[in-house]
Amino acid sequence: MNSTQSTPALRTLSVGQAGDERAIAVLHREATDGGNTQLVWLGGYRSDMTGTKAAETDRLAAELGLACLRFDYSGHGQSGGAFRDGTISRWVEESLAVIDAHPAERLVLIGSSMGGWIALRVLQEIRKRGSGPKIAGMVLIAPAPDFTSALIEPALTENERRQLSQRGFFEEVSEYSPEPNIFTQALLEDGRLNRVMTGLIETRCPVHILQGMRDEDVPYRHAMTLLEHLPADDVVLTLIRDGDHRLSRPQDIDKLQAAIRAMV
């Protein structure tokens, strides 16, 4: 394997104010063709930067000579910090800090599940600055913007509401890990402050959504709702009839890489 295909060295970036620092684990691939485009992988809830889709995104970047930025949110993967302290605001802050530490002229944001929400919030925050990198495109895989208020809160059972009130969190069985999923009161409250599907989402760049129709975690109708909040121009929705939430099969990866190629 040549050097362009090898895995980048793991580095850490300290994020947060004194007393709230988190060591964020980062894998950054430098561009090799002198280009100015960087792919930014934004993972899902409890996922990490070494998963199949993230690794295949990095492999594509190496093939195309592009820069690629992957990292783990605090409480995820190889990063520091407690998972129970995690909120959307906290993970957006970390995402922006990592992007700022690895400057590029053009960014293609690739968000998976919750990472789709993070991607939209990152875009909004960069737009507010009025300067910085150009967001050249977004690829959203089974995106879950506003999932705390749109998907979790309406489905809470009385027992889960009781746990939130008494313990500040509730647990549910995970299909992807022996450890249960944990949802905190802080996450739900912060999620309401970070909602993006409250009006038109001005992306000003092409957006391609990949959504499985057999997704039991983020129903495809949620992607249809997101579509209603995006400008009609330059937005593509690909529904994969037999696709689940992961969309990690070879045929799914092919669709992901085709979408990324179209952005760069």
Residue type, position 96, single letter: L
- pLDDT, tens digit (0-9, with 9 covering 90-100), for 23-74: 999 999 999 977 799 999 999 999 999 999 999 999 999 999 999 999 999 9
Residue 7 per-residue DSSP state: P
Which CATH number is 11-145+205-263's, of 3.40.1050.10, 3.20.20.70, 3.40.50.1820, 3.40.718.10?
A: 3.40.50.1820
| Positive/negative CA dihedral, 131, 143, 175, 181 | positive
139-to-19, 87, 146, 196 alpha-carbon distances in Å: 35, 22, 17, 17
pTM for the full predicted model: 0.95
H or E, element range at 140: strand 134-141
Interior CA angle at 201 toward 197 and 204, to 5°? 160
Q: Which of 27, 77, 38, 34 is nearest to 60 (CA)?
A: 38
Query: In 10 A of CB 110, how many CB atoms?
Result: 29
E-strand spans in 167-206?
Answer: 169-172, 181-184
Q: Assess contact for 248 and 53: CB atoms under 8 A.
A: yes
- pLDDT, tens digit (0-9, with 9 covering 90-100), for 198-241: 999 999 999 999 999 999 999 999 999 999 999 877 999 999 99
Instruction: Output 135 or 6, whichever has higher pLDDT.
Output: 135
Q: Which of 187, 245, 235 is nearest to 211 (CA)?
A: 245
pLDDT of residue 35: 77
pLDDT of residue 33: 77
pLDDT of residue 6: 82
**For a pLDDT cut of 90, what percent of the chain falls above it?**
89
List the end-to-end C-alpha distance of the chain, in Å, as a whole number.
24
Instruction: Give the sheet arrangement for strand 235-240, strand by strand.
Output: 10-15, 22-29, 67-71, 37-42, 106-112, 134-141, 207-212, 235-240
pLDDT of residue 5: 64
Domain spans of the chain, in order of start: 11-145+205-263
Query: In 10 A of CB 186, how many CB atoms?
Result: 16
Average pLDDT over residues 166-189: 89
Q: Is the pLDDT reported for residue 3 higher than 50?
A: no
Q: Is the pLDDT reported for residue 173 higher than 90?
A: no
Average pLDDT over residues 95-107: 97
H or E, element range at 127: helix 114-129
Residue type, position 74, single letter: S
Query: In 10 A of CB 170, how many CB atoms?
Result: 23
Q: Is the pLDDT reported for residue 114 higher than 50?
A: yes
